[in-house]
Amino acid sequence: MKKIAAAAVLAGGLIASASSVAAPNVVYPNCTAMHVNYRHGVGKTGAHDHTSGVPVTNFYRSNRLYYLNRRLDRDKDGIACEKH
């Protein structure tokens, strides 16, 4: 039985498969595409969610991946596409 990997369409029409998810060189076009591989977003090491409610703490931590996708960090708290 073959496993089908989830894929995200990246800028320029490139496809990122689950095998390339571990490589921190992926630039995502939007948060929906990022959430395919990183359900709670991507943040810098040591980043804290700025919220008045329950903060997101289970995001993936990678300085390199965050900097490649920092334009997706709308509230500039060091976490791109944070989601509970």
Burial per residue of 20-46, b for 16 or more beta-carbon CB atoms within 10 angstroms, e otherwise = bbeeeebbbeebebbeebbebbbbbee
Task: Report whether pLDDT(7) > 60.
Answer: no
pTM value > 0.75: no
Tell me the per-residue pLDDT of 13-63, one tens digit each, with 9 for 90 and over.
Answer: 545 444 444 546 899 999 999 999 999 999 999 998 887 788 889 999 999
H or E element at residue 61:
strand 60-61
